[in-house]
Structure 1
């Protein structure tokens, strides 16, 4: 049982090292699509060790049965780690937000907009507050809720007050 616990602890150490050195095996040709990444190896070794220890100690099985159970658990955990990491890496298929996406959104005036001049509005682009220079057909006081009519440039918009 000592060997199995040693494997389990070694897997946890490899997992801790993966926080710093992950990507090392992939950079030297670590297999297809990150299959031999440090987290996958750590998951396999830890599952093999801890499952083997549990099967050997709690169930009283022999070393061969404990090893086979550990390898089976290691394969499942290693494959799951590989699959989840691929899903996380490739999951971001949504396009990056652009300034053109602001048309039709609402915001608030933070610097009053004078007639024929620019003020500032606070808008939210992809959930992040961003300040834009703003132009309006008429004067707009600070604190007024506004609606973005169009995007003039990457840093400026045309707005109109929201009618409630």
Structure 2
């Protein structure tokens, strides 16, 4: 049997397959970080699909070559690598398509502040600004707040007017 060149115990063919797999990861990184840098249009073939095919082929061929390469030969490893890469590429393209077309909630606006309830976190002086914490979309938001009369720390309030995106007018909410 001819002697096979190795690099730290990894055969040359496996090393080449690993480099091809790493190229697929690099293509995916460019697609994610570079946006439309490698955009191939709105057709069936997307950058993510190509990244999945290249990476899937490289890594699956490397594994197959290490496990069965001596028994089945390089041609069969290549064929099995391609067969394995096709569903991996299609799956990656499908996942990216689903994630990029996912529905999201609307961005909260100033109008969404009116009617929210919160608590005073910095006392509101007469004729001045304090701070209140309210929840919008499940997230706590701290806003500058004014009121008709002084409001002490910890008082429950309701937003009656949104002066701006970060400033509101509040009134005390009676304890229940």
TM superposition score category, shorter chain reference? 0.7 to 0.9
- Asked if 2 retains the 8 angstrom alpha-carbon contact of 1:135 and 1:157, the reply is yes
Q: Deviations over 1:26-47 (max 9, x none)?
A: 1xxx13268331x433321121
**2:80 maps to what in 1?**
69
The alignment yields a C-alpha RMSD, in angstroms, of 3.0
SS at 1:109's partner residue?
Answer: strand
Larger Rg: 2
The separation in 2 between residues aligned to 1:109 and 1:142, in whole angstroms, is: 5
Q: Is 1:23 aligned to residue 36 of structure 2? A: yes
CA drift at 1:58:
2.1
**Structure 2 residue ranges without an equivalent (≥5):** 1-10
**1:161 maps to what in 2?**
173
**Structure 1 residue ranges without an equivalent (≥5):** none
**1:7 maps to what in 2?**
17
**1:143 maps to what in 2?**
154
Instruction: Give the TM-score taking structure 2 as reference length.
Output: 0.69
TM alignment of 1:27-106, pairs within 5 A = 30-32=40-42, 35-37=45-47, 39-59=48-68, 60-106=71-117
SS at 1:15's partner residue?
Answer: helix
SS at 2:38's partner residue?
Answer: helix
Alignment CA distance shift 1:162-1:58 (3 Å)? farther
Instruction: Give the TM-score taking structure 1 as reference length.
Output: 0.73
Alignment CA distance shift 1:162-1:33 (3 Å)? farther
